[in-house]
Amino acid sequence: MASLLNQIGAVTALNVRSIPQRAWMSIASIVAVALTIAVLLFFLALAQGLTRTVEGSGSDDVAMVIRSGSNAELNSVVSRDQLTILSSGPGVMQRASRPLASGELLVIVDGLKRSTNTKANMPFRGIGAEGLALRRGVTITQGRMFSPGSNEIVVGAGLIREFAGFGFGETVRIRGSDWKIVGVFEAPGTVFESELWADVAVTQSLFNRPNAYQTMRVQLASPEAVAPFKTWADADPRLQGLEILSERAYYARQASQSNQFIVIAWVLGILMAIGALAGAVNTMYSSVATRSAEIATLRIIGFSGWAAFFGTMVEALALSMMGGILGILIAFVAFNGRTTSTLGSGFTQLVFKFDLSPPIVITAIVMAMVIGFVGGFFPGIRAARQRPQLELAAQ
Amino acid sequence: MTDLFRLTDVEKSYTRGKEKISIFDKLTMRIEEGDFVAIMGPSGSGKTTLLNLLGGTDKANKGEIEFDGKRIDNLSEGQLTAWRAANVGFIFQFYNLMPILTAAQNVELPLLLTKLSPKKRRDNVATALKIVGLEDRAKHRPREMSGGQQQRIAIARAIVSDPKLLLCDEPTGDLDRTTADEILGTLQVLNRDLGKTIIMVTHDAQAAKYAKRTLHLDKGHFVESELAA
Amino acid sequence: MNDRALMWKNLWRKPVRTILLVVSIMIAFLIFSGIISFNIAISTFNTLPTRMVTLSKVNFTQTLPIAHYERIAAMEGVAAATHMNWFGGYFQDQQSGFLPVFAVDPETYFQVYSEDLQIPAEQREAFFKDRASMLVAEPVAERYGWRIGQRIPLQSNIFTNRNSGNSTWEFTLAGTIPTPQGSSQSGSVLIHYDYYNETVTFGRDRIGWVPFLTKSADLNDQVAAAIDGRFLNSQDETSTQDEETFNKSFTAQLGNIALVVSLVVGAAFIAILLIVGTTMALAVRERTKEIGVMKTLGFSSERVLRMVLGESMLLSFLGAVLGCGAAAGLLSLASGGGGPPIYFAPIVLVYAAIIALLLGLVTGLGPALAAYRLSIIDALGRR
């Protein structure tokens, strides 16, 4: 075994020394692998960023109430009466002897996307007095919270970064009324950072939707309190047609949108990998061809075919790994952590960051290894089959 | 007999690094039409350079080279190429057939440079293969043939466009004696029956015997002066 | 045999290598033509220069009062106007059965979108006459196997039917609309606004948006300013745009697709450019001696250059043709399933031809020039 390792080492050293003879081909296959990996990572990081942001938005101990079968808040309805009943449910937390619950109404207003200068759908959320308290991790970083009953808006920091029209201190005119942006809030890694918040009562009246709510959030004592709360609500005929689930579960359901990016990532990634593979196989065949005399000589001396096979394999893996690492570097420099936005499942813009998490990076490395392995396999077999011919060695 | 080649005061030198290597200094010679000349000499005597100059694959630094009464030393690269296509057939030591083409296609190659009709081309190829006695190998590829057969295909390729001149560079250098004798016999027939002028560079004194005369080259000069003009 | 045959034979000298190259070029063109077709499908719509649309200034999901429509229709410079409502429709399953159902005013709708509504007169009349009927884009009817005259239950994820007390409406299929690529009616289901308006439990007398035709495209800006000015400072301010601008901003909501497309296509082509370029260079280097022989035989340098360049062109076009063919095949397979069909865009062939030409040139030029410059003496090692 040790002797085979030595042999492989010797053959690999020969391979490496002959790389300059096909420097351009080697560079070409490294770059091809790198670009493949970069494209794969682009869409995976996009999907990951989207998933994390959506999934990271929900709490386990907040119950979310929507109309059964509504796939988006926009077409959900919860009445004022239902809201009142739900606020008195079991396990609902209180603050200053008022239930920690928020009936909410989401409408869509136009903002201007900075990068393309085109109109885009902004989520304008009317929240109850306890809406802010219900969302942990949200902090007002500039200005102040809107005052109840006034035409005031607070805006998410992510929205401000990506969209124009709702800057701090600005006044915007919506449906014949002036609204003042009085604060900016941060809610890192959640969908809320791409929202506008205002008082729900004012929103209802100005958008001509009196007493209409779409969703309701209820702060419960603990994550375990969600199930009893749901059981209680299901038993009440006045609450028929409502679905209750934890806020986390609700957002986990919304996150399935990113699956389409994962599909795109793998379709493009695999297609490009086949292309890059062609480069790797050609490079390795050419490597074996230029070294056929050397390999023949080694075989005469007594090196085994395995050594020739593994020597070729090691070279192929080294090239594809270099490509993989280059691709990962490109991804880190070019887009990791960059902010982008797309139309989310709620039909409104969702701001999120490309997220190159360790599992994704490992996926990329595995992909590069697979390209190297397949790319080295058949040329490796050809190298192993090189017969110890004297006439070749003599050249 | 008229002169096919007339070389006057030909000079040829190379620079290798900073060193200038003179191959020919005022070389003068003539070769008559219908001649079969063997050129012998040690390595570095200028045999191959002479063949290159005669075949128009290299240019002299000075002096005149006349072929069939017309100067070729002042032709441009492109004109020389066309001249070669029309007048010279080449036979190399290692045959230099195209591995991807069949025997017949290899023979046909020079005819791509002519305006002959496909039918005429096929006839010419068949004739050339017949002359070298390999009609039955038309569809074979070079690696399916022996060295001697490959060289006969190369000869067929050299004569297919009916040039006046055949230039042979060690045509039997890679062949065994019996095969070499067959090849040289074929060349002799081409010279005698078809009137081809043949200039053959060789190391092999046995081979040289097939020629009408032998020139010995040493350090850029012909040793037997009576053979040079 | 001729030069082309010789190029072809040279190309296939090492079949494994050539197949690998053809596959990699094919894949680049497959990615290219697939992505471009997709991009064209989502961003190209038949538009009329005189067709405009008035929406709520707040956002197109906000409704407008029906009175807006009547005022717009009476504006100077407006040739014909209609109105549309988003019904939030689906068939059986909310996710997979999603349908863009619009409540429209049939007769004016046919005026504004006449060019995309070329259907048999009896189907049109049947639709006009029966308030509870619908028109459906052909692919939708095919997907669900709906026949003309059949009653189809559609559901809304927004509205409730006053008559049934639930979210289901039944419509009689009056006809189908052929929807070639770019048709403004792609995937659409059209129902009667009057019927919808009478049966919904809320949101009555509101409309989604107002598409209209101007008398001349020169009047567009003037008409838009007049409409938006008319409703300025009202509860329902408007924003009037030409159809194309509206469509473009809608697509732009998904993200900067053009940028992503160019990055991915760019990456794919740079990768194969390098692979093909270096492999061609190697292939020609390996053939140095043969090129020397050809030149000796009397093939001119120009001819040798043309042959090497021709070979790389052949390779490039072979890959391009296969790649575009594969994309066309896959797209037509994919369009058999759900979702709006993505057609192979013929313009892709023009781009593909240009790219193939450039690819062939760039990858072949270096080796071809090397072959052109190659001296016989160096090639054959005769000195």
B113 touches chain C (CB under 8 A): yes
Q: Are residues C244 and C267 in the same domain?
A: no
Q: Are residues A230 and A282 in the same domain?
A: no
Q: Are residues C12 and C116 in the same domain?
A: no
- C180-206 residue pLDDT tens: 878 888 889 999 999 999 999 988 999
Number of H helices, E strands in chain B: 7, 10
Residue A63 lies in a domain: no
In this complex, the chains that touch C, judged by 3 or more CB pairs closer than 8 A, are A, B
Q: Are residues C363 and C309 in the same domain?
A: yes
Which ranges in A143-258 belong to alpha helices (H)?
Answer: 157-162, 200-206, 226-235, 247-254
Q: Are residues A262 and A327 in the same domain?
A: yes
Probe site for chain C from B51, B93, B108, B109 (most C CB atoms < 10 A): B109
- Does the domain at residues B3-227 carry the CATH identifier 3.40.50.300? yes
Q: Which residue of A has its CA nearest to C241?
A: A119
Q: Are residues C275 and C199 in the same domain?
A: no
More confident residue, A7 or A216: A216
Q: Are residues C8 and C38 in the same domain?
A: yes
Closest CA to C150 of C133, C130, C169: C133
Q: Are residues C241 and C267 in the same domain?
A: no
Query: CA-CA distance, A39 to C35, in Å (whole number)?
Result: 14
Q: Are residues A74 and A132 in the same domain?
A: yes
Q: Are residues C99 and C229 in the same domain?
A: yes
**So what's the pLDDT on residue B229?**
38
Q: Are C367 and C279 in contact (CB under 8 A)?
A: no
Residue A393 has pLDDT above 60, yes or no: no
Residue A213 has pLDDT above 90, yes or no: yes
Q: Are residues A225 and A156 in the same domain?
A: yes
Residue type, B74: N
Q: Are residues C121 and C138 in the same domain?
A: yes
- A271-308 residue pLDDT tens: 999 999 988 999 899 888 888 888 887 887 778 888 88
Hunting for tokens 């691709």 — which residue is that?
A327
**So what's the pLDDT on residue A394?**
47
Query: CA-CA distance, B84 to C274, in Å (whole number)?
Result: 38
pLDDT band at residue B171 under the 50/70/90 scheme: very high
Probe site for chain A from C19, C27, C273, C322 (most A CB atoms < 10 A): C27
Query: CA-CA distance, A256 to A272, in Å (whole number)?
Result: 25
Final residue in a domain of this structure, among C252, C271, C299? C252
Residue A25 CB neighbours (<10 A): 25
Q: Are residues A176 and A315 in the same domain?
A: no
The dihedral built from the CA positions of residue B64, B70, B76 and B80, taken in this order, carries a sign that is negative
Query: CA-CA distance, A296 to A286, in Å (whole number)?
Result: 16
Q: Are residues C317 and C182 in the same domain?
A: no
Q: Are residues A15 and A90 in the same domain?
A: no
Average pLDDT score, chain B: 89
Q: Are residues C79 and C198 in the same domain?
A: yes
Nearest 5°: the CA angle B23, B27, B30 is 130
Q: Which residue of A has its CA nearest to C246?
A: A119
Number of domains in chain A: 2
Final residue in a domain of this structure, among C202, C232, C252? C252
Residue C333 has pLDDT above 90, yes or no: no
pLDDT band at residue A147 under the 50/70/90 scheme: very high
Q: Are residues A192 and A320 in the same domain?
A: no
- What is the token pair recorded at B54? 């005669």
- What is the token pair recorded at A270? 């695999």
Residue A77 lies in a domain: yes
Domain of A364 in residue numbering reads as 2-55+257-394
Query: CA-CA distance, C82 to C189, in Å (whole number)?
Result: 16
Residue A322 CB neighbours (<10 A): 19
**In percent, how much of chain C has pLDDT > 90?**
70
Final residue in a domain of this structure, among C220, C252, C284? C252
Final residue in a domain of this structure, among A212, A240, A268? A240
3-state secondary structure at position A201? helix
Of C94, C253, C277, the CB nearest to A121: C253
**So what's the pLDDT on residue C72?**
96
Give me the residue spans of the domains in chain B: 3-227
Closest CA to C269 of C89, C16, C29: C29
Nearest 5°: the CA angle C163, C165, C170 is 55
- B107-134 residue pLDDT tens: 999 998 888 899 999 999 999 999 999 9
Residue A201 has pLDDT above 60, yes or no: yes
Of C88, C95, C274, the CB nearest to A32: C274
C381 touches chain B (CB under 8 A): no
The dihedral built from the CA positions of residue A41, A57, A187 and C249, taken in this order, carries a sign that is positive
**So what's the pLDDT on residue A389?**
64
Q: Are residues C339 and C371 in the same domain?
A: yes
Residue A250 lies in a domain: no
pLDDT band at residue A395 under the 50/70/90 scheme: very low
**So what's the pLDDT on residue A305?**
84
**Do A and C count as touching (3 or more CB pairs closer than 8 A)?**
yes
Number of domains in chain C: 2
Q: Are residues A144 and A219 in the same domain?
A: yes
CB contact under 8 A, A176 and C30: no
CB contact under 8 A, C12 and B100: yes
Q: Are residues A266 and A319 in the same domain?
A: yes
Which segment of A220-229, B52-61, C219-228 scores lowest on mean pLDDT?
B52-61
Domain of C343 in residue numbering reads as 3-43+255-380
